[in-house]
Structure 1
């Protein structure tokens, strides 16, 4: 599975939200698995959108044929657009599906990892972080994805921001030490995204 993570700073919020509803046409696209997104909890003008495709072949076919149709009405509504593709490697918890209807919050963590530590980083995600996240109240499902250049994405879906808040500093510090995260990671950025149901496709 291919994950596309897009984020941007929105200038025209009403127009941008209206534009998001035009993506409903993706449902007719071969290989499309689902899409959802919402607003950053820390920087309210930043929007995140997560799209899922069966594989790169279906995604490239869509981009070649149809990508300009839904995005055409949106010029001038946002700036600083960033879009990255990640290949699914494994689930966080079990049975990941790109379903957004039962989730309130998505947590996204993006790591750039030292090349010689990349496999260790992935192993620690499986052995240390995954069990801790899977056992956290309100955590529904998630995935671990990889992009060229030793970049990794951890995407997790939560029932509510209150539940997400229980997964916090002291436990994270303990887990990070056990996983040797500081030795693995060059840069780590993340965000908590409040989902907008009208953006779900």
Structure 2
């Protein structure tokens, strides 16, 4: 499995790419994959510090795709900002991240870490405690995610 993240300077640049170049590039990649899923998330806020799509100082990305109950969407976003964000920011190995939103009460939390070992220090009982405090179980209808070890030769 491969995860491909792309970051656009603006919606206008994204729309221009989709209108002018996407179909040609997609046709050239035909047959190189079995299944693809694509989602476009709008940036809402940073996790820890000003987000930059640089990967040279990170070895690992944690991505969480959350489908949230419609009546809990604003609570979920508020808890990300007030509970989860400060906790991740306080973890020494966490470099930066972002919180994004897509239509249909879907959210993406992307956090970049120096290493798997640093990310591992954050997880265990701390996540359970934070989840209870943020009432995550009441907010989230479905959660998928992955821990992605970065391949430096794939970054552009």
**Separation of aligned partners in 2, 1:149 and 1:191:** 21
Q: Does 1:85 align with 2:40?
A: yes
Q: Which has the higher strand share?
A: 1
The two structures, once aligned, show a CA RMSD in angstroms of 1.1
Correspondence for 1:154:
109
Name which of 129, 135, 154 aligns with 1:174: 129
Q: Which has the higher helix share?
A: 2
**Separation of aligned partners in 1, 2:81 and 2:94:** 16
Gaps of at least 5 residues in structure 1 are: 1-45
Secondary structure of residue in 1 paired with 2:57: coil
**Separation of aligned partners in 2, 1:195 and 1:68:** 27
Count of residues in Structure 1 that have an aligned counterpart in Structure 2? 156
Correspondence for 1:165:
120
Secondary structure of residue in 2 paired with 1:125: helix
Shift in Å, 1:153? 0.2
Secondary structure of residue in 2 paired with 1:78: coil
Correspondence for 2:58:
103
Correspondence for 1:5:
none
Which string of whole-angstrom CA distances, capped at 9 and with x for unpartnered residues, describes residues 20-45 of structure 1?
xxxxxxxxxxxxxxxxxxxxxxxxxx
User: TM-score, normalised on structure 2?
Assistant: 0.96
**Separation of aligned partners in 2, 1:105 and 1:70:** 27
Secondary structure of residue in 1 paired with 2:30: coil
User: TM-score, normalised on structure 1?
Assistant: 0.75
Shift in Å, 1:184? 0.4
Which string of whole-angstrom CA distances, capped at 9 and with x for unpartnered residues, describes residues 17-69 of structure 1?
xxxxxxxxxxxxxxxxxxxxxxxxxxxxx100100002222101111111244
4+ residue runs over 2 A deviation: 68-74
Name which of 8, 12, 16 aligns with 1:57: 12
Name which of 61, 65, 71 aligns with 1:116: 71
**Separation of aligned partners in 1, 2:114 and 2:38:** 26
